[in-house]
Structures are given as structure tokens and as C-alpha cells.
């Protein structure tokens, strides 16, 4: 781990295709700050899908700290490589995406310069990692409305409006939400019925907005699960727009909330699944908390 307060080896990993900001400018800023405290700093880019996962897996054990520059999708890909390692490095997110929801859950600053300064303070936290159908996720896995939101985000608008595009897409998708039949099992419960969205949260944020609950933790070995029925859709959207996130919630029969370490979800028809904003899996789902957590830089 180097000498004194220095890291011996570090790597900045980024996706050359991702991000709404000037990635080269951010790399220059990061190198200028980090090089003073890291003896050997390497910069590696991925250019096609799968590159970051492969590089994280093949080279992750070579470094003491891995700086992931990008948004939630970039973090998702890198973590899927790191989760397969025996000895994963410390992970520092340098936010460069639209929502940066997992970075927000770690209470990291949302500029690369400030995130680099925080990383050099060495404040770290062992964090739960979720799994779903042989893959892993940091922030959430969901079906229904949440998948439509990701599909409906206009990339051109995303460049201009940033996180606002998520909320605009959510409002558009809400009008198009299709109810589906689900069968959900945990170790202690069996629920079935009709919903417009099911989401299992490891992080605290969706579309830059903190969900309004105080018992959401990154290290409790559990996921917060929300089953939103058609009548609860407007309530969930209200949460996403709320200025004060921690107003006491009243129970509502149209939104079921639970905490669990494992769950299985089946749907009558195969459905696309959103994992950290990436859509490539389909139901049925086997979801839980991995037995191998990762250690992240945090500003908690």
C-alpha cells in the first residue's frame, strides 16, 4: 500500500464512449491531483462493451486503488469484473455520468476534482453488492416502469438536461406503464398479484433523487424492495420529486415495502430487467446480497 500516506499503485479506468462531460479534461484534473499521492498511476480506457469488466478482472489485483471514472453504467461494468477477484482493490468512484446514483449513496462529491481529494483522505467503507442471475449490481435491479424509464431516456436530451432527463422520462413512462402479473418469494414471504414496478434497492438514489426512507443502508446485508401497484404509481413519482425526502411515510396498500437478503421473482411473460440503468437481463430473477462485499472510498 505504498509508504506514508501514499498509494503504491493506482489505475484510472474509464469508458471513452461514455459521459456527458469532457472526459479528457477530467482525466487531466484527476492526474494532477492524484499523482502527488500515488507512486505509480496508470490510465486505461475501454472502448467497447465488456472492456471495463475485462480490464477490472484482469488487472484489478495489480493495484491498491482503482479509480472508476464515469456514471452508474461504468461502475456497474467494473464491479462485475471486480466481484470475481479474490483480492479486489479499494474502489474510488470519480463521477462523470448523468445521475451518479451510487456515488450519491456513498455521499461522494459530484465533481472529479473533489472526488479525487476525498479519495486521498482514505475514508473507506465495506459495501454490500447485490447479485442477480449470475451478475452483480451496486444500486438497484428492477422491472416494469423503471425499465421503461431507462428505455425512454432521450440521449440527445440527456446531453443537455442531465439528470432532469431522468425525471422527464419517468413522467412520460408513467403514462405508458403496463401492469404485469408477478410471483415473488423471500425466505419468509410469498406474494403474488399485479404491479407496474418492482425494484430491489441496494443504494439510496434513483434518478438523482434519494428515496424517502431512513432504514436504507449500504452495509446491512439486505435489499429494500418496493412493489408498486398501478394505484401507487403517482405516489412513487411524488417521492422522486419531493424536496424533503424524510417526511414520515404513511402506509399505502398500493405500495408494498420490505427488507430481505434474497428474493425470487417470476412473471407471467418474460420481462426486460434494469440493473443500474443497464438493460440486458430478463425474468425470472434470482436476487440477493453477495457474500463478497467490496470496499469503496466514501465521504460518509
Catalytic machinery residues: 278
Distance CA 50, CA 80 (A): 10
**Cβ pair 35, 120 in contact under 8 A:** no
C-alpha dist (Å) from residue 32 to 15, 67, 112, 280: 20, 14, 11, 37
Q: Give the span between the Cα atoms of 93 and 86, in whole angstroms.
A: 21
CA dist 91 and 154 (Å) reads 30
Query: What sign for the dihedral angle of Cα 152, 106, 275, 191?
Result: negative
Please state, in angstroms and rounded to a whole number, the distance separating the CA atoms of residues 17 and 34: 23
Distances (CA, A) of 172 to 130, 166, 169, 182: 29, 10, 5, 23
Task: Report the alpha-carbon distance of residue 24 to residue 100 in Å, rounded.
Answer: 18
Amino acid at each position: 500500500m505504498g509508504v506514508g500516506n501514499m498509494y503504491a499503485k493506482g489505475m484510472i479506468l474509464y469508458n471513452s464512449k461514455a459521459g456527458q462531460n469532457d472526459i479528457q479534461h477530467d482525466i487531466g484534473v484527476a492526474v494532477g491531483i492524484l499523482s502527488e499521492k500515488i507512486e505509480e498511476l496508470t490510465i486505461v480506457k475501454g472502448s467497447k462493451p465488456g472492456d471495463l469488466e475485462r480490464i477490472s478482472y484482469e488487472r484489478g489485483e495489480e493495484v491498491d486503488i482503482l479509480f472508476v471514472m464515469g456514471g452508474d453504467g461504468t461502475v456497474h461494468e467494473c464491479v462485475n469484473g471486480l466481484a470475481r477477484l479474490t483480492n479486489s482493490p479499494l474502489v474510488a468512484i470519480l463521477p462523470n455520468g448523468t445521475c451518479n446514483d451510487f456515488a450519491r449513496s456513498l455521499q461522494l462529491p459530484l465533481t472529479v476534482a473533489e472526488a479525487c481529494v476525498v479519495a486521498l483522505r482514505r475514508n473507506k467503507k465495506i459495501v454490500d453488492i447485490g447479485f442477480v442471475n449470475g451478475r452483480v449490481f451496486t444500486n438497484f435491479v428492477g422491472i416494469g416502469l423503471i425499465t421503461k424509464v431507462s428505455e425512454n431516456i432521450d440521449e440527445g436530451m440527456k446531453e443537455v438536461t442531465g439528470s432532469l432527463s431522468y425525471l422527464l422520462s419517468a413522467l412520460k413512462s408513467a403514462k405508458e406503464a403496463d401492469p404485469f402479473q408477478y410471483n415473488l418469494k423471500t425466505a419468509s414471504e410469498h406474494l403474488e398479484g399485479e404491479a407496474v414496478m418492482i425494484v430491489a434497492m441496494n443504494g439510496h438514489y434513483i434518478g438523482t433523487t434519494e428515496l424517502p426512507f431512513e432504514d436504507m443502508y449500504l452495509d446491512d446485508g439486505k435489499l429494500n424492495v418496493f412493489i408498486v401497484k398501478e394505484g401507487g404509481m403517482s405516489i412513487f413519482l411524488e417521492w422522486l420529486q419531493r424536496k424533503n425526502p424524510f417526511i414520515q411515510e404513511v402506509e399505502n396498500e398500493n405500495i408494498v415495502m420490505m427488507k430481505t437478503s434474497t428474493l425470487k421473482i417470476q412473471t407471467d411473460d418474460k420481462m426486460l430487467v434494469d440493473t443500474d440503468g443497464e438493460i440486458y437481463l430478463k425474468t425470472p430473477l434470482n436476487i440477493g446480497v453477495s457474500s463478497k462485499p467490496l470496499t469503496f472510498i466514501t465521504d460518509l
